[in-house]
Amino acid sequence: MQHPNFWDDRERAARQAQDLASLKRTVEEWGKLNKEVIDLSELSSSASSDANFTKELGDKVGVVSREIHRLENELYFSGKYDKGNAVLSVYAGAGGKDAEDWAALLLRMFSRLAERRKWVVKILHEHWGEYSGPGGWGMKNVTIAIQGPGAYGYLKKESGVHRLVRISPFSAQKLRHTSFALVDVMPEFVAPDEVELKPDDIKVEFFRSSGPGGQNVNKRETAVRIVHTPTGIQVASQSERSQERNREIAMDLLRSKLYRATLEKQEQERRGVRNEKVSIEWGNQIRSYVMHPYQMVKDHRTNAETSQIDKVLDGDLDEFIEAEVKI
């Protein structure tokens, strides 16, 4: 970073500065934990029979153990962007109001998870549904940026179909209903030289941002949608007031999606698997959330499960995330 030409390429320099900051953070955290372990060892050797002292010591050991466990999990982060921020999208599947309400519940779940981990959430794009339910206003699709150390590494394997079974809040006959939603996670930033974007392959559209129930919230067409015509991939941004800034964010989103699609294709070729588009329906789910006739959340890849569905929907996903980072 001391080289006089280091900042000539600002995007490359910013990426390397971020990598350096991440490495420094990791070294500092391990150093801090090492000191705390030494201190706890000294305290335990002089432990008294005082019950309060013993409880306080046990609590401190628990905190340090959890921190060590968290840093050990991050050793599985081998991807180029695993230690950076994430962009997470939720798409409602077939099923109308129930599916849109399920997408809204998933948005709340991931937002609460981010809050628990002291990550920052920023909404980039919202396509609201037309009805309100237990999850608030339903969502046809929504995209958020989740900014925090290791956010992409922790969340990338949440990508896939999530299935909900419950008594439909929209059914007058109180019928049981199954809803599906697709979660898509990608790195927030991908270096421009990672993905080739030809101007002729890009179609840019402008539109007005909309709110719950479909009403327009802006008089000007500041929201931006970009379509990559060779692949059909679409991205959109409406978080900023200026059209140009939304266009920049949408281009970053498109670059990230194409980068992730390239990695998936390489992995499928390595495994000899056909590249097929995932349908948001039965048989493709990575996790099931059952509210009726019993309560259970089960991950179909790791077999991690719990009966505490309310805690999971409130963002307590640690058990599932810790299991999936190791696969």
Q: Which residue among 74, 89, 118 closes a domain? A: 74
Does residue 60 sit within a domain?
Answer: yes
Give pTM, 2 decimals. 0.79
Question: For 110-148, how does the pLDDT look when each residue is reduced to its tens digit (9 = 90+)?
Answer: 999 999 999 999 999 999 887 777 777 899 999 999 999
Do residues 236 and 134 share a domain? yes
Is 160:183 a contact under the CB 8 Å cutoff?
A: yes
Highest mean pLDDT among 16-20, 73-77, 161-165: 161-165
d(CA 298, CA 296): 6
Q: Which residue among 58, 74, 90 closes a domain? A: 74
- Please tell me the predicted confidence (pLDDT) of residue 32: 84
Do residues 60 and 127 share a domain? no
Question: For 281-323, how does the pLDDT look when each residue is reduced to its tens digit (9 = 90+)?
Answer: 667 899 999 999 999 999 999 999 999 999 999 999 999 999 9
- The CATH number assigned to the domain holding 268 equals 3.30.70.1660
Is the confidence at residue 35, as pLDDT, over 80? Answer: yes
Residue 180: partners with Cβ closer than 8 Å, 6 or more residues away: 93, 94, 95, 99, 102, 161, 162, 163, 164, 280, 281, 282, 285
Do residues 64 and 93 share a domain? no
Do residues 256 and 156 share a domain? yes
Question: For 5-24, how does the pLDDT look when each residue is reduced to its tens digit (9 = 90+)?
Answer: 766 666 666 666 766 777 78
Q: Which residue among 74, 93, 112 closes a domain? A: 74
pLDDT mean across residues, the chain: 86
Is 210:225 a contact under the CB 8 Å cutoff?
A: no
Do residues 127 and 13 share a domain? no
Do residues 45 and 121 share a domain? no
Is 150:77 a contact under the CB 8 Å cutoff?
A: yes
Residue recorded with tokens 């266009």: 247
Q: How confident is the model at residue 237 (pLDDT cuts 50, 70, 90)?
A: very high
Q: Which residue, 327, 324, 326, is CA-closest to 162?
A: 324
Is the confidence at residue 214, as pLDDT, over 60? Answer: no
Do residues 168 and 316 share a domain? yes
234 by Cβ neighbours in 10 Å (0-12 / 13-18 / 19+) ranks as middle
Do residues 203 and 248 share a domain? yes
Do residues 62 and 167 share a domain? no
Q: Which residue, 255, 103, 115, 239, is CA-closest to 188?
A: 255
Does residue 33 sit within a domain?
Answer: yes
Do residues 25 and 92 share a domain? no
- Please tell me the predicted confidence (pLDDT) of residue 229: 96
How many structural domains compose the chain?
Answer: 2
Does residue 1 sit within a domain?
Answer: no
Q: Which residue, 228, 253, 256, is CA-closest to 238?
A: 253
Mean pLDDT of 201-219: 72
Three-state SS letters, the chain: CCCCCHHHCHHHHHHHHHHHHHHHHHHHHHHHHHHHHHHHHHHHHCCCCCHHHHHHHHHHHHHHHHHHHHHHHHCCCCCCCCCCCEEEEEEECCCHHHHHHHHHHHHHHHHHHHHHCCCEEEEEEEEEEEEEECCEEEEEEEEEEEECCCHHHHHHHHCEEEEEEEECCCCCCCCEEEEEEEEEEEECCCCHHHCCCCHHHEEEEEECCECHHHCECCCCCCEEEEEECCCCEEEEECCCCCHHHHHHHHHHHHHHHHHHHHHHHHHHHHHCCCCCCCCCCCCCEEEEEECCCCCEEEECCCCCEECCHHHHHCCCCHHHHHHHCCC
Domain that holds residue 54: 6-74
**Backbone dihedral region of 95: left (phi > 0), alpha (psi from -120 to 50 degrees) or beta?**
left
Distance from the first to the final alpha carbon of the chain? 36
Is 181:102 a contact under the CB 8 Å cutoff?
A: yes
Do residues 51 and 199 share a domain? no
Do residues 44 and 169 share a domain? no
CA distances, 327 to each of 103, 135, 151, 252, 305 (Å): 26, 31, 17, 28, 16
